[in-house]
């Protein structure tokens, strides 16, 4: 496939929340898109909404926790898009567990989806990214910078992404590729409905703070404005994102605040 001026973008986590909003925002820019996640009906709904703005939108379902399928799905993405300008990682799950009580299956599941799945897809997509001098955008979290109660495995998986992608950036920037790590604050999505509890069952309810968070389309619009300058890191959210600066400059104060705060 020859390179066109409209960007080619593979959005993971496109069936819901941030990934869906980002896919629609790219569609409005005329991008050619592949949409991935597990729930096909929801991906097709996102596809329909994108088709109002671009004709080039494909659905390729995948499970981040099934790495044996990642090369095959990536091959199909290559058939649709050729080169890849943007690999956008928004697939992920959260946790509402007690660190000492969550089963090891829960700990492993979190890393399989949020960390191993994300790096597995990135490795598979590297030749497509190299051909386009592409940009890897990874949604991590404020929890990628600090830990809070009841999110130990989530925070661990997001910290791991920062370590891996900071290293990758140094290796691939000389080849003209870029990595942006994105730390959102509270964004209004159903993320916590699927949160893993101690035994691996889903929490089944929305977090109050997330419900009142920034709308996903507002978040997507803010983020897409920042990405052309290829920033290493982007932080978007409400006052809660100040905790990242406190962690660096006043960690004891942050600890005292977090100890008293209600985590939902």
Ligand X SMILES: NC(=O)c1ccc[n+]([C@@H]2O[C@H](COP(=O)([O-])OP(=O)(O)OC[C@H]3O[C@@H](n4cnc5c(N)ncnc54)[C@H](OP(=O)(O)O)[C@@H]3O)[C@@H](O)[C@H]2O)c1
Which residue number, 6 or 264, has a Cβ lying nearer to ligand X? Answer: 264
Which residue number, 64 or 168, has a Cβ lying nearer to ligand X? Answer: 64
Q: How far is the CB of 65 from ligand X (least distance, A)?
A: 5
Q: How far is the CB of 19 from ligand X (least distance, A)?
A: 5
Which residue number, 150 or 186, has a Cβ lying nearer to ligand X? Answer: 186
**Sign (positive or negative) of CA dihedral 74, 175, 136, 83:** negative
Q: How far is the CB of 194 from ligand X (least distance, A)?
A: 6
Q: How far is the CB of 161 from ligand X (least distance, A)?
A: 9
Q: What share of the chain is helix, strand, coil (3-state, %, to 5)?
A: 50, 15, 35
Contacts by 79-82 with C-beta closer than 8 Å and gap 24+? 80/32, 80/34, 80/56, 81/1, 81/8, 81/10, 81/32, 81/34, 81/128, 82/1, 82/2, 82/3, 82/8, 82/128, 82/131
| Among candidate residues 76, 77, 93, 106, the one with its CA nearest the CA of residue 9 | 77
Selecting among 26, 115, 154, 186, the annotated active-site residue is 154
Which residue number, 62 or 132, has a Cβ lying nearer to ligand X? Answer: 62
Structure token pair of residue 107: 């700990």
Do residues 179 and 232 touch, judged by C-beta distance below 8 A? yes
Which residue number, 132 or 156, has a Cβ lying nearer to ligand X? Answer: 156
Residues in the chain, overall count: 264
Q: How far is the CB of 72 from ligand X (least distance, A)?
A: 15
Question: DSSP letters of 9-68?
Answer: EEEETTTSHHHHHHHHHHHHTT-EEEEESS-HHHHHHHHHHHTTT-S-EEE----TT-GG
Binding site for ligand X (CB under 6 A): 13, 15-19, 37-39, 42, 63-65, 90-94, 113, 139, 141, 184, 186-187, 189-191, 194, 210, 213
Q: How far is the CB of 232 from ligand X (least distance, A)?
A: 17
Q: Would you call 154 a catalytic residue per the annotation?
A: yes
Which residue number, 50 or 132, has a Cβ lying nearer to ligand X? Answer: 50
The residues annotated with a catalytic role in the active site are 154
């Amino acid at each position: 496939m020859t390179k066109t001026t409209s960007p080619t973008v593979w959005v993971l986590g496109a069936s819901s929340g941030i990934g869906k909003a980002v896919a629609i925002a790219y569609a409005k820019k005329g991008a050619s898109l592949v949409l991935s996640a597990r729930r096909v009906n929801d991906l097709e709904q996102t596809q329909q909404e994108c088709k109002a703005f671009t004709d080039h939108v494909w659905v390729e379902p995948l499970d981040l926790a099934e790495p044996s399928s990642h090369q095959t799905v990536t091959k199909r993405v290559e058939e649709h898009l050729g080169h890849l300008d943007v690999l956008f990682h928004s697939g992920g799950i959260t946790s509402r567990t007690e660190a000492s009580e969550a089963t090891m299956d829960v700990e492993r599941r979190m890393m399989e989806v949020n960390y191993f799945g994300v790096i597995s897809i990135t490795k598979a997509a590297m030749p497509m990214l190299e051909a386009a001098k592409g940009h890897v955008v990874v949604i991590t979290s404020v929890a990628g910078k600090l830990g809070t109660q009841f999110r130990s495995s989530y925070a661990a998986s997001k910290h791991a992404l920062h370590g891996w992608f900071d290293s990758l950036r140094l290796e691939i920037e000389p080849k003209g590729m870029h990595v942006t790590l994105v730390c959102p604050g509270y964004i209004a999505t159903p993320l916590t409905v699927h949160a893993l509890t101690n035994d691996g069952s889903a929490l089944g309810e929305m977090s109050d703070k997330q419900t009142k968070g920034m709308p996903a389309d507002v978040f997507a619009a803010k983020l897409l404005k920042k990405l052309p300058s290829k920033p290493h890191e982007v932080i978007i959210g409400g006052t809660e994102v100040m905790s990242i600066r406190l962690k660096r400059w006043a960690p004891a104060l942050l600890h005292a605040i977090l100890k008293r705060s209600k985590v939902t």
